[in-house]
Structure 1
Amino acid sequence: MLSQDIVDKLIHQEVLVDELSDEELAQFCQIANLAYRAGKPIISDQDYDFIYLAALKDRDPNNPLLKSIEPEGQVFSEEKVLLPEVMLSIDKAYLWDKVSKWIERLEKSAMQIGLDLSNIQIKATPKLDGFAGFDDGNRLYTRGDGKKGSDISRVFERGLCVFNDAERGLGAGEIVIKKSYFEKYLAHSFEYPRNFQASLIKEKTLDKQAQKAIINKAALFVPFVQLPTWSGLVAELVAKFDQIVAQVLVMVDFDVDGVVFEVINADLKTQMGANRKFHRWQIAFKENKDKAQVQVLSVTPQVGRSGKITPVAELEPTLLSGATIVRATGHHYGLVKEQGLGAGSVVELTRSGLVIPKIISVLKPMPVDIPDNCPSCDKPLVWESDFLMCTNRKSCPAQIVGKMTYFFKILANNDGFGIATIEKLYAHDIRSVSQIYALNVEYLVAMGFGEKTSMNLISQLNRSVSEQVEDWRFLAAFGVHRMGLGNCENLLKSHHLNDIFDLNLEQVANIDGFAELTAQIIVQGLASIADEFNQLYQYGFNLETTILTKDLQTLTHELFNKKVVFTGKMSHSRGDMKKHAKSIGIKVSTSISAKIDYLVIGDKVGQNKIQDAENLGVVVMTEADYLSKI
């Protein structure tokens, strides 16, 4: 039987599929498939399909496993489609402290728009622990990465109903199972409601239990707008926080893992806006009730792509929130010294959001072991504030592997180039991403990759070149310090991609949002990647060009610089319409407020939404009217 150690290494791509025997490969496919069907996948759909199942088909096409399980490609590896609206995550708080800081940000934004602090209104809803999706009235999509998801409209075709017998097309929500029904009829078969919820979507043919739950309206799609709410002034939230949380947690007969708080005031929501990950006017409070006291076996230093040394606590295996935890990050060595996180120490452990192992505190400190040399290249380490760093950036193996892996991760339009693949390439003298793109099937086979795997890898390289990505994402993939996705997009709104390597310190510092110190780091960082950038750029990546701010200002159409909300089913993809609108100088928003200029409506828009817009003085126009104006 495949050992847990090998399974863990496969999950983290620390072992290549070519290193497995046929029997081990089949066993891992079985383990991964069972975990997937239980609603707790251990690897991504793409890795399962592209790496493991493909390898098993190639090696042993008659393996009984291939006939007894449903290939993932028939369910979730299908082509992703743009969601009608972006589904952002929700910022999370596990302590009142963070909720309190969120409220301080609300008050600061309120003062900026002249809103009396005593008039800030808040609503709270249960945070469902289900399967997220978006219903536009015609199709139901998985949340995916928030921008693209899979079409799972089949669940409505199977008879799934909307909560409270509401109409279709109410936007974001979750597929859930009634808690009382689960405990009475399903608890003997499934460990958690989430496991059963996943079966409603992923099974090609529903079993009798799932069919019965749908017929009995115990399994439902719950749009967030249909959830019961608590609402009140911010002062009441501060005064009665614990009571409000307790009240909201029991409002619905579904599995709930927290409470979502959000601002009601439309102008304040507009003022706070959103970042790439979540809306700033919203936060989820989640309590970590499951905790454990765990002994630390050892603390292992790991080297990141930037040279930062991260301490990883190897733990006595502990069952927590349904998973066996064997390691957790110690964050940085300054904290290790301060808390006494060493071999033999005892820590209090939880799982943030029931997912990420997190050390809350060190209950029993022990002597710590601070490394003097890099575990990857053996060069002396240096302290930078609380962080222990390896400054051997050009030849440290872990940093080189980390940078190459990061490129493919950020580009996000390819599969197969995880750390195990990159480490094997490194072992055969591959030291840069440009060298990877110069490979062919013959080279890969000579390195020890299987022929089928080699063909797949080259296919994925070609895909990453031909499949369109934003130019700022391409730039961010090079991993320049201080050049995350946001800063890259900001830079390319001021200068074309081909011009940025000629910018001086003053020109970068003059861009809104870049301080002089950041500008200095960026100029130096760009110089360090110039040669690699030029070598990769010649492959002709299909880059979507960011429109320069100065070019937008030359546009003269009627809607230039106006704030627009799109709603309803359009004849064009709503995602494409939003992208195009931004490219011609229109400010696109997701919610109606008095600051919005136009509401562009398609089919199946509720009359209440139109009335709300008109009451706020927002001009309502059809899709045809909108297109005529641009």
Structure 2
Amino acid sequence: MPSLSKTQIELLKEADIESTHLSPELIAQIAKQASPKELTNEQLLEFLQVCNALYRGGEPFISDADYDFVFLAELQKRHPHHPYLETVEPEVVAVGKTVTLPEPMLSTEKTYSQSGIEKWLSRLEKAADDCDVDFSTLMIRATPKLDGYAAYDDGKLLYTRGDGRKGTDISRVFERGLKVGGNGKRGQGAGEIVVSQTYFNNHLADYFENSRNFQASIIKEKDLEQHALEAIQNHAAVFFPFSQLPDWKGTAAEVLADFDQVIEKVYSLVDYDVDGVVFELVGNEQIKKYLGATRHHHRWQIAYKSNVETAEVIVIKVTPQTSRSGRVNPVAELTPTKLSGAVISRATAHHYGMVKELGIGVGTLIELTRSGLVIPKIERVIIPKEPQIPEHCPSCGSELVWDSDYLYCLNTTKCPAQIENTIEHFFRTLANVDGFGQKTVEKLHACGINSVYAVYQLDMEQLQDMGFGDKTAQNLMDQLQRSRSESIEDWRFLGAFGIHRMGLGNCERLLQHHHLMDIFKLTVEDVINIEGFAEKTSAAVVECLAKIKTDFMQIHQLGFNLIQTPLIAEQQQNISPISGKTIVFTGAMIHGKRDDMSKEAKRLGAKVGSSVTGKTDFLVTGSDVGAAKIAAATEKGVRVISEEDYLALLGRSE
């Protein structure tokens, strides 16, 4: 039986939802039985509110189909005009000042069948007839229905959807570096915060149960976790305006003639979680105005959602996998089962605490769910068995130890999985070197290469002896040289060593207060004194720095072209004309790449932003800059200067 976890209970408290009619045990029982018949009106409404809050907070408790067609349908049957049915389900996770949205941000009417789309098109046809418009000429746009975190960007602020009319200011996510998907421009209205499926599967699935859980973490006021910050910095997480989504367009006749093909094509247009397809009328404001909207949704728009498929599946075994950090993660190997058009044979069990608590082992009968292209999830355990908990690391055989809900291998220097993942992480984080992916690293390790330093000691002859072709070997040598000669920020170099609790953001924050070569002398108290570092994190940082010191010094002395992070103390002494200023670069630059100019500005003590705000001091313009952008900056009181003016400010006019 599913039960409310500590995280879910805490989320309900944050959402200010008090269960006056339902206990946690009764909530779990209702979810298991999926039958609202015996519930009072108060209990039914409260259950819907609880489920919505958990879903919006990234901790879904029941499937979308059960929510829509079992519980919400029951409320509609009892009270067709209940206020809950006419309101936008609120996003509940954001904390901050409530503000009125620039325009209403409504929900979308949903259907789970082709017949539902046909009925919607019939309504459009009737409206076209009433407006004396040829229905056959109307164009329908189909876009992926993103399963993200809804928000609205007016160019100045980013708002949560809230209740559709009032939301919360979460502009902080742009200050953290979140980019805009599509053409990258701010101020394009409604959209969703999403994360790349590929990136989530490769880098986040070990730390977040699902992508909604991750998306919800991005907007919270507290400091971001390392993994969330890295996803933003790698542009894997973005705010994607609906207007910028790739789409399919055609007539109503074409929608009906090729319905399955249209759905299949639209699902594959983006690398984000998609839980449906949105159909909408485009290009005829007369009919849109005629159709209007309810308080809940626009009538000229509808979402087709694939039925959430579930299956009862037997667990064959639970396979442990060791990550770079030494954490051993459980993967449930399943009887191959087809769900949502794909054969599923594996599903994450998240952590071994879950395996132990729910009884996941050989022969466990689980309910597996998958909707559209969303990652398969163990919905609940139907028949538990003896949990399958490893005692030794699957990679090196060392004894594992518990830390909260997680199992760890502490053999950091000799564990093959940790060695290979550590080498791969180093080169991936540097982001200025290619060729050292998983297969290359595995091949190197099989030939006795056990560290990043050892990789840098290789020569052409050794690589050829390992089985690399002449061209590949030369490319690897060139890439190693490139990684040392190309400029790179010192905080990124530090982040490549994979220090526990030290994402790239924390690395940069640390080096804003202490020079790179001084950090190994720091005490826990020194780190605690830096804003954003709690006591537990500080202790972990100092401990990990001591562990990597030898490797760090060996690699550092190879000679890298590091850009030093300006110390805040030095910035306050006005060491340059732009020290302490906030600068945004836009347009094509003549005297250098924008990225290089940004790095130089940071080195001179400036803060470099990605978009113009009221706190921006200078908007430095290259060529091909739109007049609207300059006008918006001027309106905010931001000084607009040309590239030549900027160089003159630095004393480098030509």
For Structure 1 versus Structure 2, the TM-score category normalised by the shorter chain is 0.5 to 0.7
Distance 1:457 1:575, change over 3 A: closer
2:615 aligned with 1:543:
no
Amino acid in structure 1 at the alignment position of 2:353: G
Alignment partner, residue 235 of structure 1 = none
Sort the Cα spacing of 1:316 and 1:412 in 2 relative to 1 into closer, same or farther, 3 A: farther
| Range with greater deviation from structure 2 (484-493 or 289-298) | 289-298
**2:604 corresponds to:** 584
2:311 to 293, 297, 305: 293
1: CA distance, partners of 2:372 / 2:507:
30
**1:193 is aligned with what amino acid?**
K
Q: How does 1:555-594 map to 2 (within 5 A)?
A: 555=574, 560-567=579-586, 571=590, 573-594=593-614
Other structure's SS at 1:481 match: coil
2:249 to 178, 185, 193: 178
Q: Helix, strand or coil: the match of 1:449?
A: coil
Q: Which amino acid aligns with 2:57?
A: D
Shift of 1:438: 0.8
What displacement does 1:305 show? Answer: 1.9
2:182–2:245: 8 Å Cα contact kept in structure 1? yes
Task: Encode CA deviations 1:415-465: one digit per residue, 9 max, x unaligned.
Answer: 332333323322222211111111122212323334443333333323322
Match of 2:400 in 1: 381
Output the CA distance in 2 between the equivalents of 1:517 and 1:135.
37
Q: Superposition RMSD on alpha carbons, in Å?
A: 4.4
Letter in structure 2 aligned against 1:354: L
Per-residue CA distance 1:342-365 (angstroms, 9 max, x = gap): 233343445589354433333443
1:329 paired with 2:362, answer: no
Q: Are the equivalent residues in 2 in contact too, given 1:343–1:367 (CA < 8 A)?
A: yes
Relative distance call for 1:177 and 1:468 in structure 2 (3 A) is farther
Could you tell me how far apart the structure 1 residues matched to 2:640 and 2:648 are?
A: 14
Describe the superposition over 1:518-539 as per-residue Cα deviations: whole angstroms up to 9, x where unpaired: 2232222122112211221222
Between the aligned partners of 1:471 and 1:624, the Cα distance in structure 2 is 28
SS of the counterpart of 1:546? coil
One-letter amino acid of the counterpart of residue 192, structure 1: E
Q: Which residue of 1 aligns with 2:264?
A: 192
Whether the aligned pair in 2 keeps the contact of 1:134 and 1:171 (CA below 8 Å) is no
Q: Name which of 329, 337, 343 aligns with 1:318.
A: 337
Q: Does 2:373 align with 1:354?
A: yes
Match of 2:327 in 1: 308
Cα distance in structure 2, aligned partners of 1:363 and 1:491: 48
In structure 1, the gaps of 5 or more residues are 1-92, 111-116, 137-142, 150-169, 199-217, 221-227, 230-239, 258-286
Letter in 2 for 1:95: Y
Change (3 A) 1:431 1:320: same
Change (3 A) 1:324 1:552: farther
Deviation at 1:471, TM superposition (A): 1.5
Q: How does 1:37-76 map to 2 (within 5 A)?
A: none
Q: How does 1:378-417 map to 2 (within 5 A)?
A: 378-417=397-436
Contact 1:135 1:171 in 2 (8 A): no
CA distance in 2, matches of 1:587, 1:545: 14
2:509 pairs with 481, 490, 493, which one? Answer: 490
Whole-Å separation in 1 of the counterparts to 2:356 and 2:306: 26
Match of 2:366, SS state, is strand
Report the 3-state secondary structure (helix = DSSP H, G, I; strand = E; otherwise coil) of the residue aligned with 1:382: strand
Q: Which residue of 2 aligns with 1:105?
A: 94
CA apart distance, 1:466: 2.7
**Normalized against structure 1, the TM-score is what?**
0.58
Q: How many residues align?
A: 433
- Cross-structure match for 2:492: 473
The question of whether the paired residues in 2 share the 8 Å contact of 1:552 and 1:583 is answered with no
The alpha carbon displacement at 1:403 in A equals 1.6
CA distance in 2, matches of 1:413, 1:439: 19
Counterparts in 2 of 1:598 and 1:351: CA distance versus 1, 3 Å? farther
Partner residue, 1:366 = 385
| Cα distance in 2 for residues equivalent to 1:457 and 1:609 | 43
**CA deviation vs aligned residue, 1:384-428 (integer Å, no higher than 9, x gap):** 111122222232222222222221222233333233332332222
Quote the Cα distance in structure 1 between the aligned partners of 2:630 and 2:413. Answer: 59
Q: Deviations over 1:108-166 (max 9, x none)?
A: xx2xxxxxx36576764899539954278xxxxxx9998899xxxxxxxxxxxxxxxxx
Q: Post-superposition shift, 1:490?
A: 1.0
Aligned to 2:205: none
Kept in 2, the 8 Å contact 1:177–1:197? The answer is no
| Deviation per residue, 1:577-616 (Å, 9 max, x gap) | 5444444344444455555555555666556555555555
1:344 aligns with 2:363: yes
CA distance in 2, matches of 1:429, 1:531: 20
Selected match of 1:533 from 516, 529, 552:
552
Q: For the Cα contact (< 8 Å) 1:134–1:172, is it kept in 2?
A: no
Q: Give the CA deviation at 1:489.
A: 0.9
> TM-score w.r.t. structure 2 length?
0.56
Separation in structure 2 between the aligned mates of residue 148 and residue 482 of structure 1, nearest angstrom = 18
Q: Secondary structure at the match of 1:105?
A: coil
Counterpart code for 1:433: V
Q: Is the 8 A contact 1:558 1:629 kept in 2?
A: yes
Q: 1:507 and 1:414, CA in 2 relative to 1: closer, same or farther beyond 3 A?
A: same
Residues 288 and 351, structure 1, Cα contact 8 Å, conserved in 2: no
Q: State the AA in 2 paired with 1:531.
A: T
Contact 2:56/2:91 (CA < 8 Å) preserved in 1?
no
Would you say the 8 A contact 2:633–2:639 is kept in 1? yes
Distance verdict in 2 for CA 1:431–1:551, change over 3 Å: same
**Pairing partner for 2:183 from 110, 129, 134:** 134
The one-letter code matched in structure 1 to 2:264 is: Y
Contact 1:176 1:219 in 2 (8 A): no
Aligned-partner Cα distance in 1 for 2:91–2:381: 27
Identity %: 43
Give the 3-state SS of the residue equivalent to 1:312 in structure 2. strand
Assess if the C-alpha contact under 8 Å between 1:557 and 1:629 holds in 2. Answer: no
CA separation in 1, counterparts of 2:431 and 2:497? Answer: 13
Distance between the aligned counterparts of 2:447 and 2:491, measured in 1?
31
Task: Identify unmatched segments of 5+ residues in structure 2.
Answer: 1-52, 60-88, 109-141, 147-179, 186-195, 200-230, 236-240, 271-280
In structure 2, how many angstroms separate the alpha carbons of the residues matched to 1:292 and 1:171?
29
> What is the letter of the counterpart of residue 584 of structure 1?
L
Structure 2 counterparts to residues 418-437 of structure 1, below 5 A: 418-437=437-456
**Which of 1 and 2 has higher RCO (CA within 8 Å, sep 6+)?**
1
- Counterpart CA distance in 1 for 2:242 and 2:262 is 29
Q: CA deviation at 1:325?
A: 2.8
CA distance in 2, matches of 1:403, 1:337: 28
* Deviation readout 1:485-544 (Å, 9 max, x if unpaired): 111111111122222223333333322222333223222212211221122122222222
Instruction: Determine helix, strand or coil for the equivalent of 2:501.
Output: coil
Whole-angstrom distance in 2 between the partners of 1:625 and 1:329: 55
- For residues 313-363 of structure 1, what are the alpha-carbon distances to aligned partners after superposition, in whole Å with 9 as ceiling and x for unaligned? 112333444543321211111011112222333434455893544333334
Asked whether the 8 Å contact 2:359–2:385 carries over to 1, the reply is: yes
1:482 Cα deviation from its structure 2 partner:
1.8
1:353 & 1:498 partners in 2: Cα distance?
Answer: 50
Aligned-partner Cα distance in 2 for 1:128–1:619 = 39
Deviation of the 1:617 alpha carbon: 4.7
- Which residue identity does 2:94 align to in structure 1? R
Q: 2:526 & 2:608 partners in 1: Cα distance?
A: 29
